[in-house]
Amino acid sequence: MSGPDVSVVICVYTEDRWEDILAAVSSVRAQSYPARETLLVVDHNPALLDRLAKEYKEVAEVRVLANAGPRGLSAGRNTGIAASHGEVIAFLDDDAVAERDWLRHFAAGYADPKVMAVGGRTLPIWASGRRPAWFPAEFDWVVGCTYKGLPRGLVRVRNVLGGNASFRRTAFDAAGGFATGIGRDGDKRPLGCEETELCIRLSRARPDAVLLIDDRAVIHHRVPEAREHFGYFRTRAYAEGLSKALVARSVGADKGLESERRYATRVLPAGVARGLRDALLARPGGAGRAGAIVAGVLTAAGGYVVGSVRTRKGGATFQVAPIEGGTG
């Protein structure tokens, strides 16, 4: 089969997601475009590391290894990149399953040598069986999914979304790895944006780089019941503001908030208008969706202000390290 070799990295941290992890690996092994290897990177959990090593000891294409850096998603991804052998490294969340042609669509994007990253579309699997009536699709990023307002089709973007993304190996040679100190760290506050910061840094290091989203590369992401409630929605929005402040510190507010300005001035007002219209038409959840959008904006803005103050005072730090190891 022509096209680049693809290594898939799945970062894991808790045995509570055991069945989800097995399903994620199975979805990779069932791809129509086979992965060269799947790497399970375990984040400082010896019991899970041992259990997974036993589970896959007879499966040559699945490798289990420990996060070699500090606790957190960024260091886990960097560990996977360094240990991988593919020309392209794809990332899949540990609580998601990929559709059969996921890697085929990723691989096709790299026919153009200028393409340095290809992302896909992530759809929610709600624990309750359906989207909560109050939950606005414009905020699906809260639960790690593609949100209303992102362009459809095969399009050029500022950044891909980390749980459903791939990068050419040379992207990490040019820009270094994921920054530690920005993204998630075990069970702490649900921070994010590490892939945004990396993509902007990559575009600066390689001005000719092309980053794409192909919405045919689909994964289905499990949303647990606890994340269907407004309390989590608010917590995640606040954490996003904190994260965006770190991104702005790293790459500047112009690039760090470029896409967010369009989102805030065009996508969200349209969402509020739709919610109010639905409320006037007595459709379920209309007023709740409009209110959630307003609350989400204000909460994220508050997090950004707090995060900006912390970065100015030196209370938040992050580090970008080169990726050591790895072969084509």
Which residue would you say has higher pLDDT here, 95 or 246?
A: 95
Segment of 140-149, 260-269, 312-321 carrying the highest mean pLDDT: 140-149
pLDDT of residue 186: 46
Is the pLDDT assigned to residue 311 strictly greater than 80? no
Is the pLDDT assigned to residue 45 strictly greater than 80? yes
What percent of the chain is modeled with pLDDT above 90? 75
3-state DSSP assignment of residue 233: helix
Domain that holds residue 251: 6-313
Distance CA 285, CA 276 (A): 10
pLDDT of residue 308: 85
3-state DSSP assignment of residue 125: strand
What DSSP state is assigned to residue 150?
B
DSSP E strand boundaries for 28-110:
37-42, 62-66, 88-92, 96-98
pLDDT mean over 17-35:
98
Is the pLDDT assigned to residue 187 strictly greater than 60? no
pLDDT of residue 193: 76
Is residue 324 in some structural domain? Answer: no
Is residue 323 in some structural domain? Answer: no
Domains held by the chain: number: 1
Distance CA 160, CA 150 (A): 11
Residue linked to tokens 């459709």: 283
pTM for the full model?
0.91
Which residue would you say has higher pLDDT here, 245 or 86?
A: 86
pLDDT mean over 129-139:
97
pLDDT of residue 43: 96
Closest alpha carbon to 43 in 74, 21, 12, 18: 12
- pLDDT interval class at 197 (50, 70, 90): confident
Is residue 321 in some structural domain? Answer: no
**Across the chain, what does the average pLDDT equal?**
90
CA distances from 42 to 71, 117, 183, 198 (A): 10, 24, 16, 22
Distance CA 160, CA 277 (A): 32
Is the pLDDT assigned to residue 166 strictly greater than 70? yes
pLDDT mean over 30-58:
98
DSSP secondary structure of 248-281: HHHH-HHHHTHHHHHIIIIIHHHHHHHHHHHHHT
Q: Which CATH number do you get for residue 83?
A: 3.90.550.10
Is the pLDDT assigned to residue 255 strictly greater than 90? no
Is residue 61 in some structural domain? Answer: yes
pLDDT of residue 2: 79
Is residue 326 in some structural domain? Answer: no
Distance CA 95, CA 219 (A): 10
DSSP E strand boundaries for the chain:
6-12, 37-42, 62-66, 88-92, 96-98, 115-126, 154-156, 164-168, 210-223
> For the chain, what percentages of helix, strand and coil (3-state, to nearest 5) are there?
45, 20, 35
3-state DSSP assignment of residue 226: helix
Is residue 94 in some structural domain? Answer: yes
What percent of the chain is modeled with pLDDT above 70? 89
Is residue 293 in some structural domain? Answer: yes
Is residue 253 in some structural domain? Answer: yes
Closest alpha carbon to 256 in 237, 243, 269, 238: 243
